[in-house]
Structure 1
Amino acid sequence: MCTVLHNGRFFRPATLNSQEPDFADCLVIDERSGEIKHIGSAEDAVAREAKAAGAKLQDMDGRVVVPGFIDGHMHLLLTGEALNQLDVGPFKNLEEIRNGIREYAQENPNLPRVLCRGWLQASTGGVALASDLNDLDPRPIFINAEDMHSAWVNTAALDEMGVADMEDPPGGEIHRDENGVATGLLSESAAIGIVWPFLSGVSSMEDRVRYIKDAFDAYTSSGYTGLVELAMDQVSWDALQLFRSRQPGGTLPISLATHWLVLPRNTEEETLKQVDRAIELHKRFNATDTPDCRIAGIKVLCDGVVDSCTAALREPYSHNNGNGNPIWSREQLAPVLRRADGAGLQCALHAIGDAAIKIAIDCLEQVGNPAGRHRIEHLETCTPEDAKRLGPLGITASVQPVHSDPAILGEWPKLLGPTRCKHVFPYGELAKGGAVLAIGTDSPTAPYGPLPNLYMATTRRSAREPERRDQTTPQFALSLAAAVSAATQGAAYSCFADGWTGTLEAGKAANLTVIDMKWDAEKLLEANVRETWFRGRRIYAAE
């Protein structure tokens, strides 16, 4: 039996970098295989034969249908956790943050901890002191920065984690006063390697399973049919497998490719043990045996982020003469990448500062495997010279337009200076250099909705504050067709899923997102996802 979707605008660009859209008006789904049988005209022979054989018909009412969105960079358990936390992002200053947390704590007296997210460091002038939180509530208070690379906590949280006697982890800092007392701010590996695992560990397994369900529900209702997780660890993996075992057929609601987080340890042997764990799991969880849930590669953090001045820059930050130190040296990174690549794993390297980006490109060039589809995440301050290098080396440019929102870049001119700010988020230049673009959101560091993400990729204006008219480096804007392709075909390519999804083609999975929209980048914030289809089955329909 077939399903015929007709009277739609089915997106099928000629190439990944097509600047203009091409649309068909009919798509035929083979219900038994869940694959696309035909895309073209409703008058084509295949469509007519399917209708004559009694196919189900669905009128798409002229709506746009694109390949199912794939979030090319996200964090599953953290997104689910964030959906159950107080968002302090809308608060503009310390007083508003304090009032919001106090009110939230009073409304939730039974929570063991007060968990918050979305702190924009500029809202407190970069200051994050436990003493500013201690009088709000006696319970531990944890506030994740918007970028998830820092955590601001109160004294009760510091005590609960036992950081007083901890040394700074490699690549991270527990900020302390002149007496050596922790002040309440943990940065980079201290946040990622101490706070994240602690909070995951103190939640129950059932809580973690519920958070994962919440994340999948949010993603399917937003039009996603695939996800690429970029910070998998054992705690998240165990919860994911329990959730998966409870699903119909023992498979995930939509496909998930994961990258195992590898942090620098005190010895090379300890560091490589993390890579070996990913290799071990990959032997069981791979595209052949478990296409719904697989270990695709590893993830390493080469530096931090601009807002906390931990992104590694070639020239100093404009306000303090610091450069931000790379988390890994080339000598530390090389054996990690070689071990992963040699086992058939992809390497994903977080690199935001131009110094870290150069290190990442240089190290992947030394690996010497363009067919491995290794990738660099973010590339926010990539220089023109390095933007040209990714394509010839086969490195995927994994980018998150939602991070380029002018509403959250107010401090960048002070931190980077006007010259460097003219060349940030250079997506168009990366594509011109031949790199495949894979668009993601980095949720929960940013909202996971695909349409606002596309809006910022194409207009370079703010989705958070749509009334603003300023733009972030508009010379690097993508066409709407190129942006949609990067959020579908490019994201599929980035995780070796393009053989079965990412485009609307006969023989590929019928993964579809139905959108009520005008094909106009300026109107994307008015558009709405109406349906999500996964492997030929509708898994979400708007009310």
Structure 2
Amino acid sequence: MTSAATIYRNASVFTGDADLAPRESVAVREGRVIAVGDLDAVRLAAGAGAEEVDLGGAFVSPGLIEGHSHMLMLGESLDKVQLRDAGSIEEVQRRLAAARAAAPDAPMVLGTSWLFDIFPEGERPTAAALDAAVADVPVLLDANDLHSVWANSAALTAMGIDRDTPDPVGGEIVRDANGDATGFLLETAAMKYAWDFLADAATDEDRDRFLAKAFAAYLETGVTGATEMSFGPADLAAYRRMLDRDGRLPFPVNAHWLLTATGDPEADVAQIDEIVRARDELAAAHGDAWLRIVGVKFIMDGVIDACTAAMRAPYANGDLPGPIWDRASALPVAVAADAAGLQLALHAIGDEASAIALDAVQECIRVNGPRTDRRPRVEHLESVADDTIARMAALDVTASMQPVHCDPAILDNWQAVLGDERAHTGFPWHKFREAGVRLALGTDAPTAPHHAPNNLFIALTAKSVLDRSREPYQPQRVFTPADALEALTLGAAAATLREDEVGRIASGARANLVVWDANPLSDAPEALLDTAAVLTLVDGAPAYDARS
């Protein structure tokens, strides 16, 4: 027997399409949207017996699709010492000492989101600075961008790092003049030593808790879908335990498996076979309604703050680092992944890295032929050349960007290390729009706060959420509200070829909807700050309800 529909009326319903005017009502039944439009037409489609919910003029949108996330890391970060607003080394030390005093039996102290701005010019993180606060247990602090780790002496010992420990491909254990590790791990060194150490220390129960916390945090901020960007065996196991237990996830997730540059061409390509096996086994066991392994993730370069992003011209200090994946190593792996039907997601922050990323896309087209379902994407694009933007449009490559990464409060060091006109031409959203490049917006949590309304505020204003006294960064770049909302919903869904199912409010789509506390189409952008969802629906059922 078909269940009765529910009509949400007296609302401003944004459908996901920036070119369509808001509608006044939407009806859902059995997890799907059955109609959206004027109330009389929606009532006719819903039929007799429909329940009606008066939303009092509230703004409704498709549930947001987090365009770039690290779910387990987000959940874990919520338990760590928060350092994004720590304005000095001394403040970091105070917070770590307080955390140690509050949990004297804890085996380690973990923190997240410290900023490079706290170090005087020419100085870098050292173990000694952390030892002064906590010396008896390991201390591991993720940088705000998750591309560096700051460790104390006990952590270096626990990770087995000594004079003979080799630098991995694409990473560096920073050392002093004597060859001793200083406590600063860059790029793949942070991943190989710090992240692997923490992964070994975590239990399945820990990872299950991290995942549950991430889902809950996102639902509260209006997110009903996510794109995982650092997926691996431990993540897959945690998701499968949730699927085995509940038969579903709190919302659908599309995952990109994180590739490792090993320096061995055969080993690099062999990763693709392992990922294909994991993809096919997952689909056979659980279908594809909730979790799909859709692609692979290349970390082509590092980050500008640490001067590890691959640039065409040197940084202000003269550094000109190469990419983590150079052309010779990246192209064969990209072609193998593409041939297996895996989507390419290419982290490229520097202008040289994004050029290499497009070379990989072009090589896939040359070797494997044109395909309408390829949908490659480049992540971040903080400093990008105009010729690259034009190539992205020609190759139908999605620009996946994160407004929270250019909050003016975190750009001082970013601008200083570039030191020239590039400091004023970053994050060129307007150029992508003008070129017709598909845009998907997200937060890259936990490298930045995951709160969707604050992320939208930066997209609309180029102003700071963290320090509201700051002047906006290059405000000519900003989105219109409708364009930003489309990039957060339909655009992010289209980036993983899911636009028929999610990211839109249309007949037949999954009824993943959000009722908001503010209306970004009509209210001043400041009304969005620090708000949350009022009601989040997943497949028509409340997944978060602030009214109860």
TM-score interval (norm. to shorter): over 0.9
3-state SS of 1:163 partner: coil
Match of 1:9 in 2: 12
Give the equivalent residue in structure 2 for 1:112. Answer: 107
Instruction: Give the match for residue 373 of structure 1.
Output: 375
Q: Distance in 2 between matches of 1:324 and 1:230?
A: 24
1:49 Cα deviation from its structure 2 partner: 5.8
Residue 286 of structure 1 and its aligned partner are, at CA, apart by: 4.7
Deviation at 1:274, TM superposition (A): 2.1
Q: Alignment partner for residue 141 of structure 2, among 140, 143, 148?
A: 143
1:316 paired residue number: 314
One-letter identity of the residue aligned with 2:43? A
1:293-314 deviation per Cα after TM superposition (whole angstroms, max 9, x unaligned): 1101000111100100001111
Equivalent of residue 65 in structure 2, options 67, 70, 74: 70
C-alpha deviation, 1:393, in angstroms: 0.3
Q: CA deviation at 1:527?
A: 4.2
2:157 to 159, 182, 195: 159
* 1:505 and 2:501 are equivalent in the alignment: no
Contact 2:69–2:443 under 8 Å retained in 1: yes
**Amino acid paired to 1:298:** V
Whether the 8 Å CA contact 2:116–2:305 is kept in 1: the answer is: yes
1:55 aligns with: 50
Letter of the 1:292 counterpart: W
Residue matched to 1:265: 262
Change (3 A) 1:152 1:410: same
Opposite residue 254 of structure 1, the aligned amino acid is F
SS of the counterpart of 2:487?
helix
Q: How does 1:142-291 map to 2 (within 5 A)?
A: 142-164=140-162, 165-247=164-246, 250-286=247-283, 289-291=287-289
Specify which of 402, 405, 410 is matched with residue 404 of structure 2: 402
Deviation at 1:323, TM superposition (A): 1.5
Give CA deviations for 1:2-42 in whole Å, capped at 9, x if unaligned: 001100110036x45x4xx6111110111x2x110000011
Amino acid in structure 1 at the alignment position of 2:40: E
Distance verdict in 2 for CA 1:476–1:370, change over 3 Å: farther
Q: Structure 1, residues 407-443: CA drift from partner, whole Å, max 9, x if none?
A: 0001233211241122110112112212110111000
- What CA distance in whole angstroms lies between the structure 2 residues aligned with 1:109 and 1:177? 32
- Determine if contact 1:87/1:116 at 8 Å carries over to the other structure: yes
* 1:355-504 equivalence runs, <5 A: 355-368=352-365, 369=370, 371=372, 372-468=374-470, 470-504=471-505
Distance in 1 between residues matched to 2:243 and 2:154, nearest whole Å: 35
The residue matched to 1:283 in structure 2 has which SS?
helix
Task: Name the counterpart of 1:81.
Answer: 76
Q: Contact 1:286 / 1:296 at 8 angstroms: preserved in 2?
A: no
Cα 1:227–1:516 change in 2 (3 A) is same
> Mean Cα displacement is larger for which, 266-275 or 455-464?
266-275
Q: Is the 8 A contact 1:387 1:429 kept in 2?
A: yes
SS of the aligned residue for 1:37 comes to: strand
Preserved contact between residue 459 and residue 522 of structure 1 (Cα < 8 Å):
no
What is the one-letter code of the residue matched to 1:162? G
The sequence identity of aligned pairs, in percent, is 37
Q: Rate the CA distance shift 1:444–1:110 in 2: closer, same or farther, 3 A.
A: same
| 1:292 paired residue among 286, 290, 293 | 290
What is the rounded CA distance, in whole Å, between the counterparts of 2:495 and 2:6 in structure 1?
A: 30
Matches of 1:302 and 1:535 in 2, distance apart? 36
Q: 1:341 to 1:286 in 2, by over 3 A?
A: farther
Contact 1:172 1:189 in 2 (8 A): yes
**What is the CA distance between 1:467 and its match in structure 2?**
3.0
Contact kept? 1:389, 1:433, Cα under 8 Å: no
Tell me which amino acid in the other structure corresponds to 2:494. Answer: Y
Partner amino acid for 2:517?
D
Offset at 1:191? 0.9
Query: Distance in 1 between the 2:168 and 2:235 partners?
Result: 21
Contact 1:392–1:434 under 8 Å retained in 2: no
Give the whole-Å Cα distance in 1 for the aligned partners of 2:321 and 2:482. Answer: 36
Q: Which moved more, 1:514-523 or 1:489-498?
A: 514-523
Residue 327 in structure 1 maps to residue 324 in structure 2: yes
Offset, 1:495: 1.1
Report the 3-state secondary structure (helix = DSSP H, G, I; strand = E; otherwise coil) of the residue aligned with 1:503. Answer: coil
| Partner AA of 2:359 in structure 1 | D
Cα distance in 2 for partners of 1:216, 1:7 equals 29
CA distance in 1, matches of 2:289, 2:102: 43
Task: Give the CA deviation at 1:522.
Answer: 4.1
Q: Which residue does the alignment assign to 2:546?
A: 542
> In the alignment, is the contact (CA less than 8 A) between 1:398 and 1:437 conserved in 2?
yes
Cα offset, 1:483, TM superposition: 0.5
Amino acid in structure 2 at the alignment position of 1:335:
P
TM-fit CA distance, 1:208: 0.9
When normalised by structure 2's length, the TM-score is 0.94
Residue 532 (structure 2) aligned to one of 528, 540, 543? 528
Does the Cα contact within 8 Å between 1:175 and 1:183 map onto a contact in 2?
yes
- Shift of residue 117 of structure 1? 0.3
Q: Secondary structure at the match of 1:133?
A: helix
**2:545, 2:439 → 1: CA distance?**
29
* Equivalent-residue separation in structure 2 for 1:370 and 1:465 (angstroms): 45
* Aligned amino acid, residue 217 of structure 1: A
On the 8 A contact 1:352/1:379 being kept in 2, the answer is yes
Counterpart code for 1:124: F
Going from structure 1 to structure 2, the CA distance change for 1:178 and 1:302 (only over 3 Å counts) comes to same
State the Cα distance separating 1:370 from its structure 2 match.
6.0
Superposed CA offset, 1:461-499 (max 9, x none): 10111232x111222211110000000001101111111
DSSP-derived class of the 2:145 partner: coil
Given that 1:68 and 1:225 are in contact with CA atoms closer than 8 Å, whether structure 2 keeps it comes out as yes
Residues of 2 paired with 1:62 and 1:330: CA distance? 53
Letter in 2 for 1:180: G
Contact 1:302 1:327 in 2 (8 A): yes
**Deviation for aligned residue 1:273:** 2.6
Q: Aligned pair 1:122/2:117, yes or no?
A: yes
Quick check: 70-79 or 237-246, which moved more? 237-246
Unaligned 5+ runs, structure 1: none
| SS of residue matched to 2:344 | strand
- Work out the CA distance in 2 between the residues paired with 1:413 and 1:79: 27
Q: Is the 8 A contact 2:222 2:532 kept in 1?
A: no
> Could you tell me how far 1:385 is from its partner in structure 2?
1.9
* Alpha-carbon distance in structure 1 between the residues aligned to 2:161 and 2:243: 34
Cα RMSD (Å) of the superposition?
1.6
Counterparts of 1:181 and 1:359, CA distance in 2: 34
Give the equivalent residue in structure 2 for 1:344: 341
Tell me the residue number matched to 1:36. 33
Q: SS in structure 2 opposite 1:331? A: helix
